[in-house]
Amino acid sequence: MDTQFKRKSTTTIFGCVFALFLPKICFAEKICTVPSEPVTIKENNTVDTVVVQINTTTKDVTLNLTENPGNAFELRGSELIAKKGLDFETLSGPEELTVQVRCNKTGYRSITLIVIVRVENINDNPPLFVQSEYTLNVNELTPVNTSIGLIEAIDDDSEVLYYSMEPTVNRYFRLETMYTPNILVNKVLDYDVVQQVKLILYAQDTPLPSQPEERSFTATATITVNIKDIDNRPPWFQPCTRVTIGNAKICLSLGYKGRVNLTEKQDGALQLQPGPVYARDGDKSRNEEISYKIVRGNEDNIFQIDENSGNISMLKPADIAGPISLLVLASQVLNRDQFATTSVTIDVMKKSRNPPRFEKERYEGYVYSNSGPENMVLRDRTSNRPFRVRARDEDFASGINPDIRYEVQYSSYVNITTDGFILLKKAVRTDSFALQLRAVDVSTGESGTAALSVIVLPSVGVQSTDEGYRAGDMALLGFVMAALLVLCLIVIGYLISRVKKGNQDAFKLSEVSIFSSKLSESSSECPLCKRTEA
């Protein structure tokens, strides 16, 4: 029966067919009517809203609600009203609510009115994140574009939400798209540089940027991303020099050096330079446990290394002088694939009773002021023989220790050759300089010193070419001077003979003395003549 009355047209046809035979029943059709179109009302704020007015043609019609979805409707007189707020999000099938009202009147056929109510969705719910704070973990060196998490908000009104994330500049992470809050790695993370990143994720239920007249809600979640130090680096021997190659950081150690005496077993850990053998995990925060091992160079089992501390000690004395080169391995205990090696060079020194000693405590040497690089320091002022030092070692019958090396200290002017000759490195600008010579026995480390003063002599004229004169010029000058002298003597002799002849002419004699004094004056003023004297 109800279904037959679902549409007014059906009702009318049905009613009028009966009207031919049962006029009473056909009249019953008119006791109440409602608009046939679906009624649309907006959700929210719908309490007491009149949904529809039921027109009754006669009095004493009883109206009963026979279908009341969500118990949301009520009859007030002849008005169908919304009893409570209609919430699009909580109603099932809010797009089409069917409300049925039955009209009874004694003597009339009761009819059922059908009111279709459409609840319109409005944006009245904010998006929501399940938590306000999230914590994510990501390994350093995770490849770009890897997802570290999907954090979605939910919104009862909106199917599409618009996401954005801060910070927006120089970011380590980004969103996959504005619609999918999939957080992706945006650039490779290095634990040494960044250990934690704080992000703020926004979800908005209207497109960004929001229009001022549009109702819009936003939700916020803070995300803490902890970057985990992964085991990507081997142990690093300390001290070391950091080098960056692309994204990789490595730390280079130059190795360790030590010294023991020949045929002597030293007790305890060997003292090494620049410090004890020590390696630290290159992944600073992991700081994995490291163990040590000598992998090469210890074939005679002279040395042993403490697996945990790296201390090297002696098991027996070394009986051959010279360096022993050990290859030491440091590896992570839990991951032996992460390892590093370094060299430990231990010099076995010969026993010595006497240090090297120079033949004299102080020496004197000479150079010319115009000497330059590679010129030798000379032994004396007169000869051109080179200066040479020698250090003796009384441990040797001949006094000659082949392990002696010479060094110059406290002077930048000179260097010393292996044979003990002193070479100038540059032109000298002082009158003299002093320095210390050192003779080191490299097999024992013992040394002796001596002082050397170097006196700078004025340069030899003939050696210089720019301001002096050539030998030919000087010879010519000497010849001219000699000729002048002879002329003078002739004149003087002539004058003396004149005086002897008759001394009456004293006036002339004085002239001669003036002339000769003038001659000597001019010769002493002449710079050329001075130079000749020198």
Ligand X SMILES: *[C@@H]1O[C@H](CO)[C@@H](O)[C@H](O)[C@H]1NC(C)=O
Interface with ligand X (CB under 6 A): 33-35, 44-45, 55, 62, 64, 102, 104, 110, 122, 124, 144-145, 215, 259-261, 264, 266, 269, 276, 306, 309, 311, 415, 417-418
Tell me the DSSP string of 371-388: --TTPBPBSSSSS-PBPB
Closest separation in Å from C-beta 460 to ligand X? 27
CA 238 distance to own-chain centroid: 19
Closest-CA residue to 55 (of 76, 36, 33): 33
Distances (CA, A) of 342 to 255, 299, 345: 5, 17, 10
3-state secondary structure 15-46: HHHHHCCCHHHHHHHHHEECCCCCEEEECCCC
DSSP assignment of 37-86 equals SPEEEESSS-TT-EEEEPEESSSS-EEEEEE-GGG-EEEETTEEEE-S--
Amino acid at 331: S
Gap between the Cα atoms of 506 and 351, Å rounded: 94
CB closer to ligand X, 276 vs 399: 276
Reported in sequence order, the residue ranges of 68-157 that DSSP labels E, i.e. its strands, are 73-76, 79-82, 97-104, 111-120, 128-129, 133-139, 147-150, 153-154
Nearer Cβ to ligand X (283/310): 310
Q: Which residues of 498-514 are buried (b: 16+ CB within 10 A; e: fewer)?
A: eeeeeeeeeeeeeebee
**Nearest residue (CB) to ligand X, 71 versus 418:** 418
Q: Which residues, 6 or more positions from 384, have their beta carbon under 8 angstroms from its beta carbon?
A: 378
d(CA 225, CA 165): 13
Query: Closer to ligand X at the Cβ: 44 or 459?
Result: 44
State which residue, 102 or 379, has the beta carbon closest to ligand X. Answer: 102
The distance of closest approach from Cβ of residue 449 to ligand X in the complex, given in angstroms and rounded to an integer, is 17
**Minimal distance, residue 122 CB to ligand X, in Å:** 5
Closest CB to ligand X among 55 and 273? 55
Comparing CB distances to ligand X, the nearer of 283 and 408 is 408
**Amino acid sitting at position 471:** A
Shortest reach from residue 16's CB to ligand X, in Å: 17
**CA–CA distance, 346 with 259 (Å, rounded to integer):** 5
Nearer to ligand X, 62 or 463 (CB): 62
CB of 318 to ligand X, least distance (A): 11
Nearer to ligand X by C-beta: 309 or 464? 309
Please tell me the distance from the alpha carbon of residue 78 to that of residue 60, in angstroms, as a whole number.
11
| CB 520 to ligand X: min, Å | 53
CA dihedral 279, 285, 289, 291 (to 10 degrees): -20
Closest separation between CB of residue 308 and ligand X, Å?
A: 6
Q: Which is nearer to ligand X, 37 or 159 (CB)?
A: 37
Nearest CB to ligand X, comparing residues 283 and 446: 446
Q: Which CB atom, from 40 or from 513, has the smaller least distance to ligand X?
A: 40
Least distance from C-beta 482 to ligand X, angstroms? 51
Strand pairing class (162-166; 173-175): unpaired
Which long-range CB contacts under 8 A does 415-420 form with residues at least 24 apart? Answer: 416/389, 419/388, 420/388, 420/389, 420/390, 420/391
Give the whole-angstrom CA distance, residue 213 versus residue 174: 30
Residue with tokens 């950081």: 249
Nearer to ligand X, 195 or 263 (CB): 263
In the complex, what is the shortest distance from the CB of residue 348 to ligand X, in angstroms, rounded to a whole number? 10
Strand partners, 362: 451
* 425 contacts: CB under 8 Å, gap ≥ 6: 373, 412, 413, 414, 415
User: Minimum distance from CB of 463 to ligand X (Å)?
Assistant: 25
Q: Ramachandran region of residue 420, left (φ > 0), alpha (ψ -120 to 50) or beta?
A: left
Supply the minimum distance, in Å, between the C-beta of residue 364 and ligand X: 22
Alpha-carbon distance of 253 to 81, in angstroms, equals: 87
Who contacts 460 (Cβ-Cβ below 8 Å, separation ≥6)?
A: 368, 370
Least distance from ligand X to the Cβ atom of residue 340, Å = 20
How crowded is the C-beta side of 341, counted as CA atoms within 13 Å?
A: 11
Closest contact distance (angstroms) between CB of 305 and ligand X is: 11
User: For helices 471-501 and 506-525, what crossing angle results, to 10°?
Assistant: 170
C-beta closer to ligand X: residue 372 or 478: 372
- State the nearest-atom distance from the C-beta of 215 to ligand X, in Å: 6
